[in-house]
Amino acid sequence: MSDGYTYLDQSSAYIDPETGILRNLLGFERAEDLQFFESVTVSKRLRELRHHPLHIKSTQGLFDIHFHLFQDVYAWAGQPRTVEIKKDKRQFIPTSAFATAIQYIDSLVAQFMKLDSSDQHTIAHQLAVLLDHVNYFHPFREGNGRAQREFIRELALQKGYDVNLSPADNEGVYRDYMRGTIESDVQCLTSLIEDLMNKQGS
């Protein structure tokens, strides 16, 4: 459902060959119907996480977030993809390397947990590093961006900060987020996150 993506899915594990769209729990056969339903239900699930955030301890939190967001839409919500993905010329981590990727991201989360909450710049930088690696991981067939932005938001909450990487109608934030993730520009992502960081309750 995202422009620029190509998938190695010879067995049609995710795409219904008759309709050409992602297999979904509601049996939608038109892309626009699926896209509308997905947008509405995921927005609702995001609001739930705003009120009841998960406590992130490891990469498993990313899978838990994806399941929560997409549980109404896809049977494979929260499950690692079984197909290879690339966007334009960038190949995301192959499925054969998932175990190594998870282990490394777990180590980054552990490092983040040890940071001093008052060191805002270091927290922003470590969140940017995490975002860069989670984006390269791209563990889901669909919904990676939404899951990873919520993952970063909830990690920031655990240090006492609000970081909204999806503010409504803010094209500048979206542009910098896309540039930072596509170009693997950690400095860009650090500046973006630090600019967005607000102390909880402020």
Topology of the domain covering 5-199: Fic-like fold (1.10.3290)
What are the beta bridge partners of residue 5?
A: 87
Classify burial at 190, counting beta carbons within 10 Å of its beta carbon; exposed 0-12, middle 13-18, buried 19 or more: buried
Looking at residue 168, its pLDDT comes to 67
Looking at residue 175, its pLDDT comes to 92
Domain boundaries, the chain: 5-199
Looking at residue 88, its pLDDT comes to 81
Looking at residue 2, its pLDDT comes to 45
* 45-59 pLDDT, tens digit each: 999 999 999 999 999
Looking at residue 10, its pLDDT comes to 66
Classify burial at 194, counting beta carbons within 10 Å of its beta carbon; exposed 0-12, middle 13-18, buried 19 or more: middle
pTM of the predicted model as reported, rounded to 2 decimal places:
0.93
Looking at residue 202, its pLDDT comes to 47
Containing 124, the helix (H) or strand (E) segment is helix 120-137
The residues of the chain scoring below 70 in pLDDT are 1-3, 10, 168-169, 199-202
Q: What percent of the chain has pLDDT over 90?
A: 84
